Amino acid sequence: MAMVAKDGRLHRRAVVAALLEDRGGLAVVSGLGAPAWDLAAAGDHALSLPLWGAMGGAAMVGLGLALAQPGRPVMVLTGDGEMMMGLGALATIAVAAPANLSVVVLDNGVYGETGMQPAHSSAGVDLVQIARGCGFSRLAEPTDPAGIAALRAQVHACAGPLFARVAIDPEKLPLVLPPEAIVLKNRFREAVMGRDALYA
Amino acid sequence: MPPPDSLTAARPPAPAAAPDWPAGLHRALSRAGVTQVGIVPDAGHAALIRLCEADPAMRVVRLTTEEEGIALAGGAWLGGTRGVVLMQSSGVGNCINMLSLPATYQLAVPMLITMRGEWGEFNAMQVPMGQATLACLQAMNVVTNHAERAEDVVEAAEATLNLAFNTWRPAATLIGQRVLGAKNFKELT
């Protein structure tokens, strides 16, 4: 699938697939809704943890995970609406400053799951400036396939907390549902900890 | 939400005659293997927060709102470590929907909650959430216990930590305002 849409914005599933290329030990937490379906569409993987809900919580799940697994790159993949509900997390993450955490926001400017209502990012609210103001020193706003490839490399570099915003086409795509929550949780922990994860 | 009474944050959090339950709580967290401590600053937890910050085995994460702590501790558990959230009863209201995360994914998320809005409260704005704290937690299937006397606080917290980490779910200890000392800031002026 070509990554660039007709209006110059990027196709979200092509972006996610490119970010997950040669993922190695990369752990991924997604926000609810379309980013969760994107993550599932990229292929089932034990180190992918799509959230089915908990709107506003994806970045903080990523922080807890990144602090628990400091030697592993962790990427939060979420939408602009989910990020907007938990903006305080950007301040908390910047202060905690985990080297291995990246927050990637797929910004389509609308609430796609609920009927394409306009979101604040389409009215001029700039998530990259907010992240900068919180203290993120690594910021990215890729607009083409080369930029996405560079972002993927930055995610794996683990050189300080990273915030990226990717303007994506507000397309409505077929649902690709991930497994049920407890299955996701147990196999994720087993991938991180081994069989010990299955015992309290 | 942050406590509205930050002017009083420097006050001793407990009556001088009370047992040193903050030190006991810190030992309980250590014994349970807790390494991530999510906090919104709170006078009742001030001594415990200082002990956790001084402990090289613990990472204190300052939050902007308590619901961040629920997600943080859930992420810690996913990553094979153990977290705890320290908060005031007013913060429980901020956590309600986020509690669906540990409930649904079965994540070990213990909470130690200092109560306001009950025993001798002076601030009317603390009363509604303080009176609703237990009901909100129960509505979200959080297993709770309650310590009304200083000598019960550590045992109650240990029970919550054990239950959360052994049965993989959210659990909370409510530390009564009577333990913290009834606040009457009018006397301070």
Using a cut of 0.90, tell me whether the model's pTM lies above it. yes
Mean pLDDT, chain A, integer: 96
Contact B94, B65 (CB under 8 A): yes
Which of the residue ranges A31-40, A50-59, B1-10 would you say has the lowest mean pLDDT? B1-10
**What span, in angstroms and rounded, lies between the C-alpha atoms of B141 and B151?**
27
CB count within 10 Å of CB B60 equals 17
Mean pLDDT score, A164-188? 96
In this prediction, the answer to ipTM > 0.95 reads yes
Contact A101, A62 (CB under 8 A): yes
B18/B121: higher pLDDT? B121
Q: How confident is the model at residue B17 (pLDDT cuts 50, 70, 90)?
A: low
At residue B189, the pLDDT reads 39
Contact B64 A185 (CB under 8 A): no
At residue A199, the pLDDT reads 86
**What span, in angstroms and rounded, lies between the C-alpha atoms of B92 and B99?**
10
Residues of A in contact with B36 (CB under 8 A): 64, 67-68
Mean pLDDT, chain B, integer: 91
CB pairs under 8 A between A and B: 118
**What span, in angstroms and rounded, lies between the C-alpha atoms of A172 and A113?**
9
For A61, name the nearest residue in chain B, comparing CA atoms only: B75
Closest CA to B83 of B93, B70, B97, B92: B70
At residue A6, the pLDDT reads 87
Q: Which residue has the tokens 């009304």?
A: B148
- Give residue-wise pLDDT tens across range A62-121: 999 999 999 999 999 999 999 999 999 999 999 999 999 999 999 999 999 899 999 999
Contact B78 A49 (CB under 8 A): yes
Residue B188: pLDDT over 50: no
Contact B80 A68 (CB under 8 A): yes
A49, A55, A60, A199, best to mutate vs chain B, most B CBs in 10 Å? A60
**What span, in angstroms and rounded, lies between the C-alpha atoms of B19 and A58?**
39
At residue B101, the pLDDT reads 98
Beta pairing class for A138-140 and A162-167: parallel
